Structure 1
Amino acid sequence: MHKLFYSCIAAVLIGVGSPALAACPPTAYSIAGLHALKTSQWQIADPQQRQQMALALIDCLADANPVLRDDIAFEALSFWMRGEQLTTATIQTMRQQLLNQIRMPVPSKDPGFATPFAALVLAEIARIDRRKAFMSDEQRADMVNAAAEYLSAVRDFRGFDEHAGWRHGVAHGADWMLQLSLNPALNQQQHLQILNALAPQIRNDQHFYHYGESERLMAPVFYLGLRSGLSSEEWETWFNSLFTTSLDLKITTQASLARKHNLTAFLYALYVNLQESSATAVKEKLLLQVIKSLKKLN
């Protein structure tokens, strides 16, 4: 890439190494420059500048501009993390900043981008840890707690908007849970914690999912069925919990219809994946529970 472009990055990123978040786009840096970085396939030759740029882009995850938020900030961070181009120190800084962000009270007029995209990047960080552990047991437990708190509390069910782009809080929370569910360092109590955080969204009676949320919620359940040592009794208890409701199901309401719609979509997605799986053990563990659950909906 042209030397001038790298010198511009260096000038912009002086002092960005601290945990404080920069503006979006980073101070004194143009949107055109970020597009140029994307065109170059996120190539920054100087490793230190790359770390600084990653930290500087975190603020863009909350930006109302979907290009800055999704096509540039998230895509760049994901590319560098999956390509092992960020240091453990950088990833640890991102982890703490994003956990702090996702735990902050949501303002009443919040546009709804910051926490879903924090969850999505935290899913990428969880992916790094499950492939090559870098978190301590305490940090990993804190991440499981944060993911469970976040997903259980999502009440902004907006998905895609042609002008604003994606929010997709439930799906991003499910993606975070998927990466955690695949982590061999988690114990069975944490597996139950993940399942119990997924359940309220699976049986959601406040909104009809129509942006693929049910399939995303299904994925961590399927992989826990494949990998976890939870007993048949524990799985039966969990599937029964999906039918917990305060609704009077004798009365047809929007809430009861939403609940049935979302449960059906989840169960059919899980049923298909179980039937297509070559793993006999997971079928024996979950398939009967899925069939029994589907019959309850009729």
Structure 2
Amino acid sequence: MRALLAVVMLLGLFVAPARAACPPEGKTREQLEALKVLKWTVPDAAERQVLAEGLVDCLGDADPKLRDGIAYEAMAHWMRAGEIDELGLRPLRDRLYAALQADDPEGFRRPFAALVLSEVARTDRIKPWMTPEERGAMVETASRYLESVTDYRGFDDKEGWRHGVAHGSDWLMQLALNPALDRGQLDRMLAAIATQVVPSAPHAYVYGEPGRLARPVMFIAKRELHTPAEWDAWFVALAPKLGDSKDYNDNGWLLRRHDLLAFLTGLYLEADRSEDPQLQALEAPVVAGLKAVP
């Protein structure tokens, strides 16, 4: 019995979730703020890597100055400056994947993990380092994340941003820009986007979400892997997501209709004023989608 108890306790060391530490161990808030003033200059690569991974825990912090102004900004800066190499990007990506699965009672951790993962996806687009299998896994992970969003809170004057749909859309946008993705992967992302263009929960987007959802669609269109008829079908299929009631006295139906019209109207304006023939080709399919809306 004692031996069994010892084994159970030992296993508990591996399965128990680690306590989120923000600021990371060995750092104070004042030191992080000073580092921001220094434009995130950390000359030692090993120290920078440890700090980047440690800052993942800050993505769930209730203080927007730590979560957004320090953790996100620092990691995005280092990745855009090429200061985290392939050996560092993999463990950082995996810690961010874990953050997507962690408890998130206040609703900050998952959206900000997705936002930082958009920067990870960008590094692979700028200088490929993922294997095709890793890239495919990221497409699936990002798509599932966007589909899973049910917390539609955006900005709060005291708490700052959550913005799950927008951050998930940014992640898909960076993937859509990657020429290494194939038609099947682009279709997987379009399916995920469609679930949030007309969210199943009645909610009116007021923080720019339709425009953010439109961005990956535009870059997928620029790949020219879909025919005009296929785009027609995709856009027209959005209207049935409103439901069959067509009830102008049904608040939930009206909210979903608002979201769909905002998405389609924004895309129409982008296509109409664009000088890019690949985007101009979206105009007619978007109009077909608009005509399908009651």
Give the TM-score taking structure 2 as reference length.
Answer: 0.89
Contact 2:272 2:280 in 1 (8 A): yes
What secondary structure is seen at the aligned counterpart in 2 of 1:274? helix
Give the counterpart of 1:290 among 279, 286, 292: 286
> Would you identify which runs of 4 or more consecutive aligned residues in structure 1 move more than 6 Å?
none
Q: Corresponding residue for 1:188?
A: 183
Q: Corresponding residue for 2:231?
A: 235
Q: What is the deviation of 1:21?
A: 8.0
> Following the alignment from structure 2 to structure 1, what is the Cα–Cα distance between the partners of residues 70 and 100?
20
Q: Corresponding residue for 1:82?
A: 80
Q: What is the deviation of 1:57?
A: 0.8
Q: Corresponding residue for 1:97?
A: 95
Q: What is the deviation of 1:297?
A: 2.7
> Following the alignment from structure 2 to structure 1, what is the Cα–Cα distance between the partners of residues 145 and 131?
21
Q: What is the deviation of 1:263?
A: 0.8
> Following the alignment from structure 1 to structure 2, what is the Cα–Cα distance between the partners of residues 84 and 149?
28
> Following the alignment from structure 2 to structure 1, what is the Cα–Cα distance between the partners of residues 22 and 285?
48
User: Please, which runs of 5 or more residues in structure 1 have no aligned partner?
Assistant: 1-19
> Following the alignment from structure 1 to structure 2, what is the Cα–Cα distance between the partners of residues 21 and 225?
43
User: Please, which runs of 5 or more residues in structure 2 have no aligned partner?
Assistant: 1-17
Q: What is the deviation of 1:251?
A: 4.8
> Following the alignment from structure 1 to structure 2, what is the Cα–Cα distance between the partners of residues 196 and 291?
20
Give the counterpart of 1:162 among 150, 157, 165: 157
Q: How does 1:271-290 map to 2 (within 5 A)?
A: 271-284=268-281, 286-290=282-286
Q: What is the deviation of 1:41?
A: 0.6
Q: Corresponding residue for 1:257?
A: 254
Q: How does 1:115-264 map to 2 (within 5 A)?
A: 115-204=110-199, 206-245=202-241, 246-264=243-261
Q: May I ask how many residue pairs the two structures share in their alignment? A: 275
Q: What is the deviation of 1:283?
A: 1.7
What per-residue deviation string (whole Å, max 9, x for no partner) do you get for residues 107-145 of structure 1?
6xx100010001001100001111111101111011000
Give the TM-score taking structure 1 as reference length.
Answer: 0.88
Q: What is the deviation of 1:228?
A: 3.6
1:161 aligned partner, one-letter code:
D
1:58 aligned partner, one-letter code:
V
What secondary structure is seen at the aligned counterpart in 2 of 1:57? helix
> Following the alignment from structure 1 to structure 2, what is the Cα–Cα distance between the partners of residues 28 and 51?
14
Percent of aligned pairs sharing the same letter: 42
> Following the alignment from structure 1 to structure 2, what is the Cα–Cα distance between the partners of residues 247 and 256?
9
Task: Return 48-57 or 166-175, whichever deviates more.
Answer: 48-57
1:172 aligned partner, one-letter code:
H
Q: What is the deviation of 1:52?
A: 1.3
> Following the alignment from structure 1 to structure 2, what is the Cα–Cα distance between the partners of residues 28 and 84?
24
